[in-house]
Amino acid sequence: MKPLNADLHCHSVVSDGLLAPAAVVRRAKLNGVELLALTDHDELSGIAEARAAANEVDLRFVDGVEVSISWGDDQTVHIVALGVDPQNASLIAGLFQVRSGRDSRAARMAAELDKVGIHGAYDGALRFVGNPALISRSHFARFIVEQGHAKDVKSVFDHWLAKGKPGYVEHSWATLQDALGWIIGAAGVAVIAHPARYRLTRTERRDLYSTFRDLGGRGIEVLSGSHNDDDVREYARVAREFGFLASRGSDFHGPGESRVDLGKLPDLPEDLTPVWSVLH
Ligand code: AMP
Ligand code: MN
Ligand code: MN
Ligand code: MN
């Protein structure tokens, strides 16, 4: 049977993507996506527009969100929630709480960047944000590129915004336990996003996977826009070992900024159980 072209991870202008929710949906359809989840960071408000657009173009749509959590010693981990009820009060309140830290974090980032000669970054980043509550490192990156300090968003992260670089500040996001409580309480399926991106020791990693599973987490992204072939093999292995459902998501943010476009990913290894087998 031909595998389903599912893309269960992408962003719109509601968080740090470049396209409106409806435009993301139309692009996904043109790219041949058959099942799409919009997973903006810490925010559900793009879902209504995206779902309406998906109905218009006859594309199966899953309500999603990507939740920022803190793990171990100041590590940020992202949990993709799929099939959540976007009206669920605890989920809405939880995400509100996660977003509420972003503004003061952005002010701290701007103060650090100022010390290394990048001035006016808070107001500058705000010019790139749709919703100020969702101000993120991506918006700072776009401002820094615009100012000519770097050639593209990726090199901004390499030089200024990644952990250990001058514009990086520590921040407490949600706990894994709280995030899984909100997601499962809203009837969602929790998936570890882009596992290759985390700089964790072997022990910390195994602890993350088993704690996530113990708390009711079900899936892991095996195919991601941030994974190379070796990563795909490794996270397929992790899915088998921990009994995780396998997910597939481009993490598309926008044309020209993302390496992988909507739906343009390889197929999942055939022996894995796709996460969409439990989504309806
Ligand atoms: P924040 O939630 O403010 O920490 O911003 C995180 C976002 O920055 C991610 O969702 C990505 O969109 C983007 N990002 C993180 N690391 C990189 C990187 N190395 N290159 C490009 N974008 C990145
Ligand atoms: Mn992002
Ligand atoms: Mn992410
Ligand atoms: Mn993402």
138 CA to middle of ligand 1, Å? 6
Per the CB < 8 A criterion, the answer to whether 26 and 53 are in contact is yes
Q: pTM for the whole thing?
A: 0.98
* pLDDT band per the 50, 70, 90 thresholds, residue 1: confident
Q: Is 136 in the pocket of ligand 1 (CB under 6 A)?
A: yes
CA distance 259 to 253: 9
Summarised one tens digit per residue, pLDDT across range 219-265 is: 999 999 999 999 999 999 999 999 999 999 999 999 989 999 999 99
Nearest CA to ligand 1 atom 12: 138
- The pLDDT score that the predictor gives to residue 2 is 85
Would you give the end-to-end CA distance of the chain in angstroms? 20
Q: Which residues surround ligand 4, an ion (CB under 5 A)?
A: 66, 251
CA of 9 to the centre of ligand 3 (A): 9
Both tokens of 88, joined, read 């669920």
Closest listed residue to residue 158, CA positions, set 176, 182, 137: 137
Q: How far is the CA of 194 from the centre of ligand 3 (A)?
A: 7
- Asked whether 77 and 208 are in contact (CB, 8 A), the reply is yes
Task: Determine if ligand 1 sits within 6 Å of the CB of residue 16.
Answer: yes
Closest CA to 185 of 93, 101, 104: 93
Band (pLDDT 50/70/90 cuts) for residue 271 is: very high
Is 66's C-beta closer than 6 angstroms to any atom of ligand 1? no
> For the segment 111-155, what is each residue's pLDDT rounded down to a tens digit?
999 999 999 999 999 999 999 999 999 999 999 999 999 999 999
Distance separating alpha carbons of residues 65 and 43, to the nearest angstrom = 6
**Atom 4 of ligand 1, residue of closest alpha carbon:** 137
Residue 226 Cβ inside 6 Å of ligand 1? The answer reads no
Closest ligand to residue 79's CA? 3
Q: How confident is the model at residue 103 (pLDDT cuts 50, 70, 90)?
A: very high
- pLDDT score for 73: 86
Residues in the chain: 280
154 lines ligand 1 (CB under 6 A): yes
Q: Which atom of ligand 1 is nearest to the CA of 138?
A: 8
Which ligand is nearest to the Cα of residue 16, counting in written order?
2
Check the CA dihedral 141-258-46-63 and report its sign.
negative
Structure-block tokens of residue 102 = 């972003």
| Residue minimizing CA distance to atom 20 of ligand 1 | 154
**40 CA distance to ligand 3 middle (Å):** 9
Residue 66 Cα to ligand 4 middle (Å): 6
State the pLDDT at residue 233.
Answer: 98
- Phi/psi-derived region of residue 83, left when phi > 0, alpha when psi is between -120 and 50, beta in every other case: left
**3-50 tens-digit pLDDT:** 999 999 999 999 999 999 999 999 999 999 999 999 999 999 999 999
Closest C-alpha to 220, from 252, 249, 183, 246: 246
Q: Is 78 in the pocket of ligand 1 (CB under 6 A)?
A: no
At 67, which helix (H) or strand (E)?
strand 60-71
Sheet holding 75-82, edge to edge: 6-7, 35-38, 60-71, 75-82, 189-192, 219-224, 245-249
Q: Using pLDDT thresholds of 50, 70 and 90, give the confidence band for residue 74.
A: confident
